[in-house]
Structure 1
């Protein structure tokens, strides 16, 4: 019996190891990282909502679900973004609660009072530049007017306290469970963006070499890149404000913000140039001059994606410089362009594509160099 158990354990061990290995490999992919992040966020929201409910019920508050709603809505990936959303929600709740109480006392609970109060609270919140709080202000004002019972001010005060409780719990949970500071999140997003850019770049170059273009995949990639760039903009602001776990000397150089956006714009230019071409054979003749450069550029993007996420402080790209030099030399020595009757527009399109490729490579070199200093 003991021998049988040992045999089963030895057979199960390789299977378990394979499963673990596959999970580790999957977790390192962009989809895996994104799924894990979503799971962490969902878990933090669930814990914060449960704690908010328990505390509100212990305090015997009449409407504990407002605290639960606040805890869920303000939860974000970093402490700084959670705090920002929390402040906006507190401001919106305060404007809406006071406006609702004033209008409920002055005009009563009716459609005219509701319409005027919602208009005024949303307008004032927007006018005072609390744009993210504007709709919430109108929402809270409407709740106070319609549900205030006999004490509008007391009702409004309770709604504010419940919101405050939910936000406080969300901040606490965000700091204690899977804490992520802006610097860490920024590195993750930069790595992810570079992976997306490499995929987009590869599809554009493939179109230049073969004439085939996977538009559905490109559309998805473009949306992912835009979303990543928008998230990075917020995270750069948090890093500049010191809401990060990294000392100044080890932070990502701020020039990366400009360079990564320029690479995105360059690849869009390459895409437009390829799609506007008229003679596929001409591009295929010149494809050897761009193939090596394209391959080295793709490798550099993926190497940078790994380096920035792992806090690597040094990355050398000597093959990139060789590829640029070789491609430029080969193009300068081409004689067949003069011997074949191609339109000047087609020549301009190709060389626009090539020199934009070169710009992408140069910017990747600068990004690699900036890993070592501020």
Structure 2
């Protein structure tokens, strides 16, 4: 991926150099910056970055024109412009514009000559940056394009193939099948995440509208559900001995698995067809009807009492397996229907623009205030020492001043190292091959590949590519002084940013993780409570829990990112190791618990109304309360270990349910209920036990006390 991106960026830089290196364009460095800053792997990302670059320049230019007309050009003005323009963009939800607002504020005030006519300067910079943005977008679109729709189709096809393999392996059973099953499910997860990332960064522009029109967000949601159902089905393989009912129904399950394979092959052919080729609907018989053979035989075993010959534990696991299998087959049937609907062209989506105001968190306001103060002081330092390219110091500071100390340290480190690699590449090329479009392209490619080799992201290679391209295109007559001056000023800006990040009240990732964990565990308790309350009172909880589910998912992802940032904040190696171990443990169980609660929700979605659960209402209510207390105890256990007695008591209601269920089976009471109701109830019971066992295992494996 990086090789492809490096070659495309090099081609774009070469084209820009060929067009404008010897032209009359006064400030060629700005098209270079516009190109490097917006040249990303997908058209959607490039369009978004281009809009942010140009829009951010316009917003900052308007504020700069107003502020400079009142206060004149001085270091304080730069900080005021950055603060007001950034808050304005946050208020309107224009996230893509915020980074360019800071850069433009540093440029327009960092060089006093630019601040004399801010309005004219703004127009010129938008024009100059626009040249780079247009070249970047054109190359991204026409040269070796990413083709997100085809990639999403490929991922979906591969996920279906892995789903087929998983079902075959589950039916086979055995240790070898378990190993292959784990690999297949891991591959499905990896492909689903890749699809989510690809879709997210491809939604800008007309290609994005096509993906929305094809409803790929819903197709990716189906990919996640397929994996979740497969994962639930694997619970039957976790037993020490193979489930006897799974062995008994091997023939029927093999026939069903063969039918699934046939349908998946037809669906994959449907996926691979181009839209224009889809003239007739292929015959895809519903899979759900093939379950009837298994269900009819199982119901006959219930009526004759044969099912009582099998232990309750095995019956619960087999019924849970059938419930998950039913949901998997329903998902495949719905997927086939959805893809067939896409055969017909749908009306184009209307694009509408609507402004809305967004709240700005206090922490974000404090961050922009810190950056504004640091920018003003940095510009004052640059002016005092009469630095030739003092605005580069300010630019580097804006890049390295991040919401958390860890993120800032990482961004600063990458910027310095990336600029250093760019400096070495530029000196080598300008003193050997000279300055022309080919060396510009070669320098950009080598810088990107070098940064990738040392594990640097875009924050690193952008600084290096800026230096290489500008040194070769603009300062080729005196390259050495410019290159090392640029590197020194970048290093100085990063150093000042680190000092301000530490001296001004710092926001650290380390300080944010524990409150985030506490909040997410409490949200998990609330989610579990709402799902169980809706089940016990026969209400619909889907609408109420959707926002909560999104909050939990976002919280877990945020904590994972914060943990990564915290690794560069903690200097004490011993304390860092203990904290990282604790956070790994907590975040891992957050994900596990979230997945288990999801399984419970899906089992409840399949539940049919009836009187079976009424027999166990007191125990179910008790199990609900015990699990809520246990999850909340985890939220409070960040400061002290959880109470082990609480987790022992948590399993008692489920044991009572299983005892009553055994008596009901022996007396034949359960045979008076519909087969579908019994299966769904057993699936719910299995999901409840999984949640309780996960919580108990979490309490048992609790790591050592967190250091003070």
TM-score bin (small chain): 0.7 to 0.9
Whose Rg is larger? Answer: 2
Relative to 1, partners in 2 of residues 1:202 and 1:139: Cα closer, same or farther, differing over 3 Å? farther
Q: Equivalent residue for 1:342?
A: 675
SS at match of 1:279: coil
Counterparts of 1:41 and 1:303, CA distance in 2: 33
The 3-state SS of whatever aligns with 2:442 is: helix
**1:128-154: per-residue Cα shift (whole Å, max 9, x none)?**
333352343223322322332631121
Match of 2:693 among 341, 351, 359: 359
1:197-208 alignment to 2 at 5 Å?
197-206=524-533, 208=535
CA separation of 1:199 and 1:371: change in aligned 2, threshold 3 A: farther
Does residue 1:51 correspond to 2:377, yes or no?
yes
TM-score normalised to structure 1 length: 0.74
Change (3 A) 1:44 1:202: farther
Q: Distance in 2 between matches of 1:239 and 1:89?
A: 17
Correspondence for 1:225: 555
The aligned residue for residue 31 of structure 1 is none
Q: Using the alignment, how far apart are the partners of 2:608 and 2:683 within structure 1?
A: 12
**1:363 shift after superposition:** 4.8
Q: What SS does the corresponding residue of 2:386 show, helix, strand or coil? A: coil
CA displacement, residues 156-214 of structure 1 (integer Å, 9 cap, x when unaligned): 11211221122111211121121355543332332343344344444544554434213
Task: Tell me the distance in 2 between the aligned counterparts of 1:118 and 1:62.
Answer: 25
Matching of residues 289-304 of structure 1 within 5 Å:
289-302=619-632, 304=634
Q: Residues 262, 96 of structure 1: CA spacing in aligned structure 2 closer, same or farther, 3 A cutoff?
A: same
* Correspondences of 1:321-340 after superposition (within 5 Å): 321-334=648-661, 335=664, 337=670, 339-340=672-673
- For 2:624 and 2:705, locate their aligned partners in 1 and report how far apart those are by CA, in whole Å: 22
Equivalent in the alignment of 2:607: 279
Q: Shift in Å at residue 358 of structure 1?
A: 0.5
Shift of 1:259: 4.0
| Structure 2 counterpart SS, 1:56 | helix
- Decide whether aligned partners of structure 1 residues 341 and 260 sit closer, same or farther in structure 2, where only a CA change above 3 A counts: same
Residue 505 of structure 2: SS of its match in structure 1? coil
Q: Contact 1:201 / 1:267 at 8 angstroms: preserved in 2?
A: no
Q: TM-score, normalised by structure 2?
A: 0.42
1:184 aligned counterpart, secondary structure: helix
Q: Which residues in structure 2 correspond to 1:8-19 (within 5 Å)?
A: none
How far residue 237 of structure 1 moved from its aligned partner, in angstroms, is 3.2
8 Å Cα contact 1:66/1:159 also seen in 2: yes
Is the CA contact 1:211–1:280 (under 8 Å) kept in the aligned structure 2?
no
d(CA) in 1 for partners of 2:697, 2:399:
38
Paired with 1:249 and 1:61, the residues of 2 have a C-alpha distance of 40
Q: Is contact 2:567-2:576 (8 Å) kept?
A: no
- Give deviations 1:347-374, integer Å, cap 9, x for gaps: 4421331112203432564587854789
| Aligned residue among 531, 534, 542 for 1:213 | 542
Given candidates 490, 495, 517, the residue that maps to 1:190 is 517
Distance (Å, rounded) in 2 between the aligned partners of 1:94 and 1:361? 49
The answer to whether the 8 A contact 1:101-1:152 is kept is yes
Q: 1:43 to 1:241 in 2, by over 3 A?
A: same
- Runs of 5+ unmatched residues, structure 2: 1-359
Residues 86, 327 of structure 1: alpha-carbon distance in 2 compared, 3 angstrom cutoff: same
Per-residue CA distance 1:91-127 (angstroms, 9 max, x = gap): 1011122323443454555432322211111012112
Q: Say if 1:224 and 1:182 are closer, same or farther in 2 by CA, change over 3 A.
A: closer
- Counterpart for residue 25 of structure 1: none
2:475 equivalent to 1:141: no
Q: 2:478 aligns with which of 144, 151, 154?
A: 151
Structure 1 contact 317–365 (Cα < 8 Å) conserved: yes
The root-mean-square deviation of aligned C-alpha atoms, in Å, is 3.6
Report how far residue 55 of structure 1 moved. 1.4
More divergent stretch after superposition (58-67 vs 271-280): 271-280
Identify which of 383, 387, 390 aligns with 1:64: 390
Deviates most, 44-53 or 275-284: 275-284
Q: 1:356 to 1:223 in 2, by over 3 A?
A: same
Asked if 1:90 is matched to 2:416, the reply is yes
Q: Structure 1 CA distance, aligned partners of 2:681 and 2:448?
A: 56
Change (3 A) 1:65 1:318: farther
Task: Tell which deviates more after alignment, 327-336 or 54-63.
Answer: 327-336
Partner residue, 1:178: 505
